[in-house]
A = this chain, B = another copy of it.
Amino acid sequence: MPDQEGHPDEDEMTLGSLLQALADPLRRSVIRALAAEPDGTERHCTSFGLTVSKATRTHHFRVLREAGLIRQVDRGNSRMAQLRRAEIERRFPGLLALVLNERQPAAGVTAE
């Protein structure tokens, strides 16, 4: 599996890129879904029900990864996504809570 760069260290995360990544409702829904799981949970990238093409999905997960929100781990054939909860919380306390408390039905995700 090619190209796995772009996992910034905790102190390399910038508020700008985090906010930019979270400005997209699709990406927020991914983070919300991940955060709803127990800490350390790995989820298959296709398991979020995003109604976009493969290429677009790759794009969004790349943005999340490069912002530092998720960690992507290769598991044989697939690449799993994991929320970098503790690091995000240390670096920008309260940021995740904001996304979690959003009372907004997911956009772009399979409808309600």
Contact = CB atoms under 8 A, between A and B. Distances in A.
A86 interface: no
Q: Place the interface of chain A in its size category.
A: 10 to 19
Interface in A4-52: 14-16, 19-20, 22-23, 25, 28
Nearest to A22: B19
Contacts of A20: 23
A51 to B, nearest CB: 18
A97 interface: yes
Given A15-B104, A19-B23, A95-B98, 7 more contacts: A15-B99, A15-B102, A16-B25, A16-B28, A23-B23, A92-B101, A94-B98
